[in-house]
Amino acid sequence: MKRFLPIVGHVLIFLALAFSCGAQGIPVVSRNGQSAYAPEMPFARVDAAQTNGVYNAAEWCDKRGHLDDSCLRNALAEARLKTPSRVFLPPGLYVFADNVTVTGLANVEIAGAGASTIIKRDATAFQCYSCTNVTFRDIAFTSVTEPVRKLIADLPTADPNQIVVIDRFSTNWGYIPTGNDHDLRVADGCSTHCLSDAQLAASFDNGVYFNGGSNIEISGLRGNFYSISIDGGTSVSIHNNTGRNGGKSNQGGCVTVGAGSERVRVVDNDFSYCSNAGFVFRGADTVSLVGNVAMYNGESGFKTGQNSPNYVTNFTSSSNVSAYNGFDGFDYAEDYPHLGTHVCQCASHGDISYSNLGVGFYLDGAHWAISGALVHENSKGGIVAKLSHSSITGSVIYANNTSHVGGNHQVNIDAGGYLTFTGNTIYDAGNGDYGVYAVDVTNQIYSGNTIQGAPTWDATNGHAISPF
């Protein structure tokens, strides 16, 4: 019995310590080797990271208590030596003087505490090349530069070097202007409310960039003046991110999926006031774009790349909302000039486009299936299509061409063989010349559609489309 009692005592002490650790959270390895604790964070992919240790970035800074880019850089240098692992950025303002760039990182999660973990920088903060099984999540972003919001009526500014964002829709927010703001450029004929060259050149948005690699997850990011970009990634998930004012520095969108990327899911993101488009896809294959929102952006809400090597293939867009953007709601054009021939194998289902300054949908390519679209009150036309071997079915298009510009219609269909236009509902509200205007109906099928407020027109034969 004498030998048994000490053993029991040690077991009880061990259980008590284990219970105490479990109550506090996950053990975090600090720079001095002592244990600290971070809140429990769900991480389905690498549960073993809890046993391998979580590296508290705030304990790995070059200067203790000085939160900057060195904290993340140093913590990653240690975490990558023993994986799977997690680098945790506790609440605080991390002012980055330089970006953190890593190559070949694998089996590591980088996580913050949400809105209270903020990275501040005037350029891309994190870059990951050829990274595998990497998650970047729950971090907020902001810029060092603090621009002044201006309505178009407020231009020009007294100081031509004053950095501004343009509030085109009078919503108390704005985007960093670009060369796409032709109406505000002196070089394009602006003579009254114009931007200076310095204001057009300003670029200071933050964000993350991945190049190559596989099994990448980006989620829970938020904040202002930041963007998410990836080129050549495989098996990528970008979900549940929100942001405003980004997309200038990468010359794409607030979310940009670039050439060579494949098997990409972009789901439940919400981006507004982007300098260019909200979401851009160039040269990507097998993309699922679901449940995203793009509003008040300087260019289109959603956009695919044009011409080789920017073609997208096997692209599915569904249940996305695009509204109040400076150009088109959905600019899904494969070529420019538009040819309607590149095989996309693409689909749009249940997408919603309204109150954009261009058209609701701009479509170009072959093997497109458009169904269940809701398109209304866009400044120019509702749907402009240059398609072949494609279909537009079960969609509702009404009250577009709010600018009342001649030549814009609810639906404008260019020549293209083997196009089916069936089961659609069109209402003009007196805004356009025609409800449906078809340039050449040869090898096109129209049936089961309902139209009110404007006639249809078959331009080849000089009469209404029949049957319709």
Residue 410's nearest CA partner among 422, 401, 402 is 401
Residues 6+ apart with CB under 8 A from 338: 364, 386, 414
- pLDDT higher than 50, residue 319: yes
Interatomic CA distance for residues 274 and 324, integer angstroms: 12
- Over pLDDT 90: what percentage of the chain? 81
Least confident of 100-114, 245-259, 359-373: 245-259
Which pLDDT band, with edges at 50, 70 and 90, does 336 fall under? confident
- pLDDT tens per residue across span 23-57: 334 444 444 444 333 433 333 333 333 335 899 99
- pLDDT tens per residue across span 138-147: 999 999 999 9
- pLDDT higher than 50, residue 357: yes
Interatomic CA distance for residues 289 and 35, integer angstroms: 42
Q: Which residue has the tokens 């919503």?
A: 171
- The pLDDT value recorded for residue 52 is 54
Residues 6+ apart with CB under 8 A from 15: none
- Domains of the chain are 24-122+135-141 (no CATH), 148-200 (no CATH), 328-468 (2.160.20.10)
Q: Which two tokens stand for residue 235?
A: 């098996």
- Its pTM stands at 0.89
Question: In 3-state terms, what secondary structure has residue 441?
Answer: coil
Phi-psi region of 9 (alpha: psi -120 to 50; beta: other; left: phi over 0): alpha
Least confident of 50-59, 178-187, 325-334, 408-417: 50-59
- The pLDDT value recorded for residue 118 is 99
Average pLDDT (431-445) is 94
- pLDDT tens per residue across span 280-307: 999 999 999 999 999 999 999 999 987 7
Q: What angle do CA 462, 368, 402 make, to 5 degrees?
A: 55
Task: Count other Cβ atoms within 10 Å, centred on residue 9.
Answer: 10
